[in-house]
Structure formats: structure tokens, C-alpha cells
């Protein structure tokens, strides 16, 4: 079974819980923040906390053993994110224990995994937003902002929500962060107005986040202080820079001709490509691999046992720079 509408997916979970939940779920969503939200929506219906894994940060035998091992202290709940990092052969091998898991398995993917998705659809449920059109995403985000305000007794007119989206861009984590601040900002007022957004919200904070992430990853700079509501908006931008660095450094170390790099890289202006390739050659692929692993650990800690976000950022840079 496959769902492409989040409200329909939520309805399915509510009606299926607690006795008719599927043993396997696949959440295929590009945006890290929204994928984590959808996965957490599933996890709330289980009585035991999950064991979390990142496909690029653990071995396949360990994953397979975890899926097959019944917990002695409650339900077995396994979360495996970034399954697109597994090779096609590894995904096929993973299907073995997935046919008879010891409990529940929640998979996450930020890109298409056709064979694995086909298998999960025959065994469980898929929530898939990979093919969502930009205009449908904007409409969905506007409705989500309106609903978030409504749940705390505030009015946010759709046209005002759309103005906020136009001002900040269609970045879910950033929008949710900003609406939280606006809800506090308006105090006892019953509505969020366009004037409130103009007073509190900058034209775009995304560019600031990109500048901070670039400085930290490429130049070993420091994090400016980020409040707790902005933390999760920064994570996908850090990941983007680390993945770019890993791709560039790997191409250089493999002696891949520069005229063939275009097949592996997003579009970059020539001067930026020249600068980043020079930095990637100096830092090496090991630096970016360590960064991705440290980022995964930081994100995992932030979702399980720590809300000390500034300390997590400091710990991340310490691991990345090898202090």
C-alpha cells in the first residue's frame, strides 16, 4: 500500500494502531526534516523506543541481525534511514530479514529505491513524496502553517502563510521554526498578521544558514549561536556541503578527469568549483566521511536524548576538526 498525502497516511496509522500496524514502513521524502517528522509519526504508535541506524554508518550484517533479533524488553523497533546509501546488492540482501522481522522496521530514503520500494509495498506501507510537484508542496506547506497556528488558538490566514513562505522559501524546517517564533511574538493577539512577519522575519534566513555551513565545513569556522528552533533547519545544509566535499574529494583521489565531473555534481559556477575542488583536495575524503558520520550522531542525539543544541554543535566541530 502506498500513500502520497500526509493526512491520509496519518489517518491510516491512527486507524491501524495498535493492533494492525504493518511490520515494515518506508518513508521516501527528500527533505530530511519532513522525513524525520513522518518517521516519528509512525514511531509514536509503538510501545518501545527504536534502535536507530544510518545505512551509511553501520555494517549490513549488524543491520540484518538487529532486524531478526527479538527484544527481551518489549517490541523490536528498528529505524534505518538513508537506505539509498546501500548498493542494489545490499538492498536485495536486506530483503531477506525484512520478510520476517522480529518486530517493526521503519525505513527512510531521500531518493528512489525502486526494488526495495516494490518489496516494501508488497509487505507493508510506503509514504512517498518524492514525486511531489513544487506547487503542491507550497500548497501543503501553507496548510501546515495554518493548521499549526490553529492548534494553539491563533488565526493565520492562508494568504499570510503564503507571504511567509514567499519570504523564507519552501524550507519546511525553517518555516516551522519561524512560525513558532511568530506565535510567541504575537503574544495575546489572536492572529498573526503580515505586519508581524515584516517586523520579525528576515527576507531569507536560508542564505545565512548556507554561509554558516560553508564557513564551518570548508574553512573550519565557528558556529554563530543558533537558537533551538533553528537547529534542525541547519542540519540538511551541513549535510549538503559535506556530501559535495566527499564527491569532489573522491573524484580527485580516483583521478577522474575534470571533464567527467559533471555527471556526479550539482551545477556549480566555475569559480566556486575551482575553489571547492582545491579545498576538497586539501581536506581529503576522510575529512568529509568523518563529518557525515559526526553529523548523523549529532542528529540522532538531538532526536533521542539531548536538546542542548549549542553543545551538540560544538561537539560536532570538535570531532570534525579532530580537536
Beta bridge partner(s), residue 52: 79
pLDDT reported for residue 226: 60
The answer to whether the predicted template modeling score (pTM) of the entire model surpasses 0.75 is no
Q: Are the CB atoms for 28 and 127 separated by under 8 Å?
A: yes
> What CATH fold (topology level) applies to the domain 207-321?
Zinc Finger, Delta Prime; domain 3 (1.20.272)
- Reported as a single tens digit per residue, the pLDDT across 110-155 is 999 999 999 999 999 999 999 999 889 999 999 999 999 999 999 9
Beta strands in 179-308 (DSSP E): none
The domain segmentation of the chain, as residue ranges, is: 2-128, 135-204, 207-321
Q: At a CB cut-off of 8 Å and minimum separation 6, what does 266 contact?
A: 244
- Reported as a single tens digit per residue, the pLDDT across 200-232 is 876 665 567 788 889 999 998 888 656 666 787
pLDDT reported for residue 285: 94
Q: Are the CB atoms for 83 and 114 separated by under 8 Å?
A: no
One of 3.90.180.10, 3.40.50.300, 3.40.50.12780, 3.30.70.3270 is the CATH number of 2-128, namely: 3.40.50.300
Query: DSSP states of 135-153 as a string?
Result: HHHHHHHHHHHHHHHHHTT
Would you give the distance in Å from CA 225 to the centre of its chain? 21
Using DSSP's 3-state secondary structure scheme, residue 101 falls into: coil
**Cα distance between residue 42 and residue 45, in whole Å:** 6
**Cα distance between residue 53 and residue 66, in whole Å:** 10
- Reported as a single tens digit per residue, the pLDDT across 4-41 is 999 999 999 999 999 999 999 999 999 989 999 999 99
Check whether domain 135-204 has CATH 1.10.150.120, yes or no: no
Burial of 3-28, coded b for 16+ CB within 10 Å and e otherwise, reads beebeebeebbeeeeeeebbbbbbbb
Amino acid at each position: 500500500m502506498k500513500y502520497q498525502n500526509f493526512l491520509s497516511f496519518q489517518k491510516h496509522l491512527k486507524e491501524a494502531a495498535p493492533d494492525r500496524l504493518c511490520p515494515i514502513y518506508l518513508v521516501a521524502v527528500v527533505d530530511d526534516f519532513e522525513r524525520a517528522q513522518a518517521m516519528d509519526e509512525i514511531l509514536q504508535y509503538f510501545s518501545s523506543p527504536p534502535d536507530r541506524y544510518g545505512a551509511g554508518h553501520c555494517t549490513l550484517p549488524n543491520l540484518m541481525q538487529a532486524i531478526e533479533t527479538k527484544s527481551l524488553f518489549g517490541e523490536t523497533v528498528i529505524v534505518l534511514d538513508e537506505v539509498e546509501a546501500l548498493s542494489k546488492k545490499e538492498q536485495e540482501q536486506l530483503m531477506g530479514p525484512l520478510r520476517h522481522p522480529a518486530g517493526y522496521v521503519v525505513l527512510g530514503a531521500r531518493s528512489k529505491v525502486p526494488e526495495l520500494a516494490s518489496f516494501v509495498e508488497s509487505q507493508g506501507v510506503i509514504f512517498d513524496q518524492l514525486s511531489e510537484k513544487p506547487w503542491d508542496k507550497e500548497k501543503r506547506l501553507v496548510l501546515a502553517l495554518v493548521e499549526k497556528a490553529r492548534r494553539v488558538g491563533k488565526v493565520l490566514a492562508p494568504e499570510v502563510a503564503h507571504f511567509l513562505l514567499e519570504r523564507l522559501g519552501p524550507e519546511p524546517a525553517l518555516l516551522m521554526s519561524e512560525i513558532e517564533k511568530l506565535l510567541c511574538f504575537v503574544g495575546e493577539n489572536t492572529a498573526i498578521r503580515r505586519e508581524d512577519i515584516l517586523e520579525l522575519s528576515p527576507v531569507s534566513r536560508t542564505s545565512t544558514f548556507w554561509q554558516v555551513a560553508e564557513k564551518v565545513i570548508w574553512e573550519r569556522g565557528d558556529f554563530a549561536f543558533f537558537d533551538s528552533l533553528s537547529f534542525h533547519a541547519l542540519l540538511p545544509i551541513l549535510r549538503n556541503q559535506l556530501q559535495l566535499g566527499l564527491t569532489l574529494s573522491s573524484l580527485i583521489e580516483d583521478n577522474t578527469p575534470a571533464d567527467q565531473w559533471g555527471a556526479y555534481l550539482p551545477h556549480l559556477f566555475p569559480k566556486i568549483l575551482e575553489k571547492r575542488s582545491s579545498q576538497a583536495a586539501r581536506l581529503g575524503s576522510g575529512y568529509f566521511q568523518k563529518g557525515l558520520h559526526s553529523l548523523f550522531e549529532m542528529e540522532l542525539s538531538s532526536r533521542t536524548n539531548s536538546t542542548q543544541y549549542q553543545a551538540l554543535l560544538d561537539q560536532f566541530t570538535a570531532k570534525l576538526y579532530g580537536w
